[in-house]
Amino acid sequence: MFLGTGTSHGVPMIGCTCDVCRSTDPRDTRLRPSIYVDVPDYATILIDTGPDLRQQALTYGLTHVDAVLFTHGHADHVLGLDELRRFNVMRDGPIPCYATAPTWDTLRRTFHYIFDGVPRMGGGIPQLEVHEIAGPLTLQGVRVVPVPLWHGAMPVLGFRFGDFAYLTDCNRLADEAWPLVEGVDTLVIDALRDRPHVTHFSLDQALDVIARIKPRRAYTTHMTHDLSHAETNARLPAGVELAYDGLVLDVRVDVE
């Protein structure tokens, strides 16, 4: 499930009166980017904890998180980390969280009170199990393959689950990423807007990547208010669509 498909500003943007920000089409309302992977009888996996996590959880009825994967440490992907406290209660324990070493460095600085070991009076803090991503991993029987991407000059991660790949916040795939996404059936990829950007794929650039990977179907995410859902979909090639908040996809994942 797509919990959010917007940029760091979200859509509508504060103070904007453009047609998309004033749109009555609910698919033009985009919270900060995140997905929720629910594999029945195995695991529920949250990718990123953006600042809209509480709203997303309430809107889509999320009641359990078995693990969290982080793509990178930017604010629109991590600032909802404190909301994991509620999932700690429902899980009755800490939540395993997975990130690269640089992302953990960012999280430790941003959320120092979680990691510094200093006792604090009053409200609780999230209980996390810290795991560093150094290669493919298995989360409660669900196999996950990290996909190295470039977000401008910043290395970040996408993730592949079986026939599904999620590649947000990128403007280039690392050379070693291409073999990792071969044979993907469903691809989700960053497509910020029509105009070029220094750290994100434009829509045309995303279409070029889709044409190279050749998935059966592809969806774009991390979109600004420049892209109207209905109007943009009408000009996309067959098999490619804009994703939208609340969209649910059935995909095949690898399990053990």
Q: How far is CA 138 from CA 130, 142, 144, 145, 222, in A?
A: 15, 5, 6, 9, 27
Report the CATH architecture of 2-242: 4-Layer Sandwich (3.60)
Sequence ranges of the domains in the chain: 2-242
The tens-digit pLDDT sequence of the chain (256 residues) is 999 999 999 999 999 999 999 999 999 999 999 999 999 999 999 999 999 999 999 999 999 999 999 999 999 999 999 999 999 999 999 999 999 999 999 999 999 999 998 988 877 899 999 999 999 999 999 999 999 999 999 999 999 999 999 999 999 999 999 999 999 999 999 999 999 999 999 999 999 999 999 999 999 999 999 999 999 999 999 999 999 999 999 999 999 9
User: Residue 115 corresponds to which tokens in the numbers above?
Assistant: 């990691």
